[in-house]
Structure 1
């Protein structure tokens, strides 16, 4: 199994060029999620979950490729964010 992951890690940048912007730990997470999702999608005979997963990871790569956007999205908020409304129970 480990050799399969290594092969995927090597060919992934050619198949999904945007994946080169993902940090190593995110690449590992994507490969694990992709393997799990592919098994489930194959069992359902529905590839839509794979397309959705790849779309989500592509958006992550877009953020990593834009340092200004990454800085905005990963910084701690400044100051008090204001009051939080009390949760309501649906009747």
Structure 2
């Protein structure tokens, strides 16, 4: 359960907000920024330990399952996996399991989010057979110098 308070409440009565944090997480709303989340350190530690244990268990389950069954298990959450070729499905499962564990151990879930985004983009390419063929074919020509990126200095 998350209790919400305004920034002004935290400034006016920090002891009351601390008491609320002892009972559960506290979301501090601010007018000029993203809300803050106050969580007790012991609770954060147990969440971290739990996520690492879950990540290790999931990795072990996925490693011991045949790749096609593991891919089917992830299909409900990621329906685009269905358009990947069989060998790409196996690589997705392996990459997903490793990214999940790395994210849990680092406490940085952007690692998993990036992996999922990259594989979703790959699935988008495979969903268009003409594009997939074009992008997977050999490059025979020299396309010349690469221009500077637009908008970067």
Q: What is aligned with 2:101?
A: 39
Match of 1:61? 123
Query: Unaligned regions of 5+ residues in structure 2, if any?
Result: 1-62, 146-153
Instruction: Normalising by structure 2, report the TM-score.
Output: 0.48
Distance in structure 2 (CA, Å) of the matches to 1:39 and 1:79: 41
Give the 4+ runs in structure 1 shifted more than 4 A: 4-7, 79-83
Structure with higher Rg: it is 2
User: Which position in structure 2 is the counterpart of 1:16?
Assistant: 78
Number of residue pairs aligned between Structure 1 and Structure 2: 83
Q: Secondary structure of the residue that 2:76 maps to in structure 1?
A: helix
Mapped partners of 1:4, 1:79: distance in 2: 41
Please give the secondary structure, in 2, of the residue aligned with 1:35.
helix
The 1:56/1:80 distance shift into structure 2, 3 A limit, reads closer
Normalising by structure 1, what TM-score?
A: 0.77
1:52 aligns with 2:120: no
Q: Could you say what secondary structure the match of 1:15 adopts?
A: coil
Distance in 1 of aligned mates of 2:113 and 2:131:
24
Structure with greater proportional strand content = 2
Please tell me the root mean square deviation across aligned C-alpha atoms, in Å: 2.1
